[in-house]
């Protein structure tokens, strides 16, 4: 997969295929920010990528704020949806997670606090086309 990348996802099977292709370019230290409306497939995409790292217990971290997974790679999976301000991230040591160069970070709802995102990151945009179709765009900043 080369970035930038854009495709139409017609099914979960399409999403899993793109996630598999994407997982081949993911490396330790990457920060991956996911954007999209509620239900657009952000968590499903993260779960599908993680399956390629032999991580099979991926859940939405909406209430926990962050989940940690261990497989072929160490993965931190953040969800900013319920956070009211970035101070809540500081309270859980967000920058320590961010500075762990042996891990990959996925951040859902990262648009809530753009000021704390690293300059170098990968952004994934999931957009509804209709009930069963999504558009995915992946860019490297």
CATH of 5-140, one of 3.40.50.2300, 3.40.50.300, 2.60.120.260, 1.10.1740.10: 3.40.50.300
Model-level pTM?
A: 0.94
The yes-or-no verdict on residue 29 having pLDDT over 80 is: yes
Q: pLDDT at position 115, please? A: 93
The yes-or-no verdict on residue 62 having pLDDT over 90 is: no
Per the prediction, the chain carries an average pLDDT of 94
The yes-or-no verdict on residue 136 having pLDDT over 80 is: yes
Max Cα separation, the chain?
40
Q: What totals of helices (H) and strands (E) does the chain contain, helices first?
A: 4, 7
């Amino acid at each position: 997969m080369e970035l930038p990348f854009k495709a139409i996802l017609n099914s979960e099977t399409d999403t899993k295929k793109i996630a598999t292709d994407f997982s081949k370019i993911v490396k330790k230290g990457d920060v991956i920010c996911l954007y999209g409306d509620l239900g657009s497939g952000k968590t499903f995409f993260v779960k599908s990528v993680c399956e390629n790292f032999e991580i099979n217990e991926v859940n939405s971290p909406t209430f926990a704020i962050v989940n940690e997974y261990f497989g072929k790679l160490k993965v931190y999976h953040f969800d900013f949806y319920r956070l009211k301000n970035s101070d809540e991230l500081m309270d859980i040591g967000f920058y320590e997670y961010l500075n762990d160069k042996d891990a990959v970070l996925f951040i859902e709802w990262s648009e809530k606090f753009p000021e704390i995102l690293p300059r170098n990151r990968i952004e994934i945009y999931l957009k509804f086309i209709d009930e069963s179709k999504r558009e995915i765009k992946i860019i490297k900043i």
